[in-house]
């Protein structure tokens, strides 16, 4: 939930500098010896070490920006792309048991029985870089609507948003019964990132309304809204948090107060077409919800305004 800094500034490294822990299980440590397995060998410490390495990479980039006296969206784009390559190289090197590819998951069937916590860690190993990279590229996504130089940032943000939505779906539908997990609707850190994934999709729609993919984007937004409404109905924490984030969006004109629930009136042509083809969707409370009713899809924001909006929303990440 800490965004691009990934909590890496909690310790003051010039004054507290220690080696990373060994990649080993607690039971393998004896008074005279502590083994240190390669990162390709799963242990109780592998995921923690991965988190540390990710945090260090992100912190190094933030230090570069800070040393130059620049905000994130002021950093030279070539520097952003160089950092992007570094993160992608790191993700490619993540061991197979922390990847979500079908092949990796097949290989891990027996391993997951031996170490069931890997199921959750595998999801979070993809979740962290996805949310972080979206935060870095989001500042350039709006510019990409007019300048092809930044088109790659749009690609990264959309891919990250879909990765977050896919992880939430897996947590909700595919977690093994043997692994005791809370309802994903009650995990505020997850709901908060689903909200940001929704906002990325909304921004992309606003900036690219005339593209053939605009209808697809509306479908994705509707799916996100369903999940957010489901969370509000299950978790009081999610309900309060989302209400506060909605208030921020109202200040920026993205949401409007609608007295009567009329999704057809307040929705763009793409959504009206979807509703006409699937009238049963309009009757569903989660579709004809406060989210879809109140979107103002006609509001116009420029790139600096989008960046300021996201900064405003990020300032509410730790409201609880």
pLDDT of residue 43: 96
pLDDT of residue 269: 53
The answer to which of 114-123, 150-159, 252-261, 309-318 has the lowest mean pLDDT is: 252-261
- pLDDT exceeds 80 at position 183: no
Task: Let me know: does 48 contact 21? Beta carbons within 8 Å.
Answer: yes
Task: Let me know: does 299 contact 253? Beta carbons within 8 Å.
Answer: yes
Q: For residue 213, what is the DSSP state?
A: T
Cα–Cα distances (Å) from 149 to 80, 81, 253, in that order, read 12, 11, 28
Residue 190: exposure state from Cβ atoms within 10 A (0-12, 13-18, ≥19): buried
Widest distance between CA atoms in the chain: 73
- pLDDT exceeds 90 at position 26: yes
pLDDT of residue 27: 95
pLDDT of residue 7: 58
**pLDDT digits 0-9 by tens, 45-87:** 999 999 888 888 888 888 888 888 887 778 889 988 998 999 8
Section 230-239 average pLDDT: 85
- pLDDT exceeds 70 at position 258: no
Angle, helices 236-251 vs 214-234, to 10°: value is 140
- pLDDT exceeds 50 at position 30: yes
pTM: 0.81
Q: Where along the chain do its domains lie?
A: 3-314
**pLDDT digits 0-9 by tens, 272-289:** 454 445 444 444 444 435
Task: Calculate the average pLDDT of the chain.
Answer: 81
Nearest to 271 by CA among 301, 255, 295: 295
Any alpha helices (H) in 145-207, and if so which ranges? 151-173, 188-207
- pLDDT exceeds 50 at position 219: yes
Contacts of the segment 109-118: beta carbons below 8 A, 24+ positions apart: 111/42, 112/176, 115/42, 116/176, 116/178, 116/179, 117/179, 118/42, 118/47
pLDDT of residue 286: 41
Alpha-carbon distance of 286 to 231, in angstroms, equals 11
Percent of the chain with pLDDT over 70: 81
- pLDDT exceeds 50 at position 263: no
- pLDDT exceeds 60 at position 131: yes
Section 285-306 average pLDDT: 72
């Amino acid at each position: 939930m800490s965004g691009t800094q990934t909590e890496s500034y909690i310790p003051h490294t010039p004054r507290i500098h220690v080696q990373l822990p060994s990649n080993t299980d607690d039971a393998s440590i004896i008074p005279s010896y502590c083994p240190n397995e390669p990162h390709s060998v799963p242990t109780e410490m592998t995921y923690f070490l991965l988190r540390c390495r990710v945090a260090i990479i992100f912190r190094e980039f933030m230090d570069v920006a800070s040393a130059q006296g620049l905000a994130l969206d002021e950093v030279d784009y070539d520097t952003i792309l160089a950092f992007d390559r570094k993160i992608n190289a790191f993700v490619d090197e993540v061991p197979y048991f922390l990847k979500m590819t079908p092949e990796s998951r097949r290989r891990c069937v027996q391993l997951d029985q031996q170490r069931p916590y890997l199921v959750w860690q595998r999801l979070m190993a993809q979740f962290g870089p996805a949310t972080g990279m979206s935060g870095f590229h989001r500042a350039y996504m709006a510019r990409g609507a007019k300048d092809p130089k930044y088109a790659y940032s749009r690609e990264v943000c959309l891919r990250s948003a879909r990765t977050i939505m896919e992880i939430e779906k897996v947590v909700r539908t595919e977690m093994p019964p043997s692994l005791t997990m809370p309802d994903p609707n009650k995990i505020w850190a997850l709901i908060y990132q689903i909200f940001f994934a929704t906002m990325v999709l909304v921004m992309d729609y606003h900036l690219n309304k005339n593209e053939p993919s605009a209808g697809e984007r509306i479908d994705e937004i509707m799916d996100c809204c369903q999940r957010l409404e489901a969370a509000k109905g299950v978790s009081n924490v999610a309900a309060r948090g989302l209400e506060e984030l909605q208030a921020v969006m109202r200040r920026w004109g993205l949401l409007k107060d609608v007295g009567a629930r009329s999704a057809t009136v307040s929705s763009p042509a793409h959504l009206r077409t979807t509703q006409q083809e699937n009238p049963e969707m309009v009757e569903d409370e989660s579709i004809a919800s406060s989210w879809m009713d109140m979107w103002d899809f006609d509001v116009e924001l420029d790139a600096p305004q989008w960046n300021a909006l996201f900064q405003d929303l990020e300032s509410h990440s730790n409201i609880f």
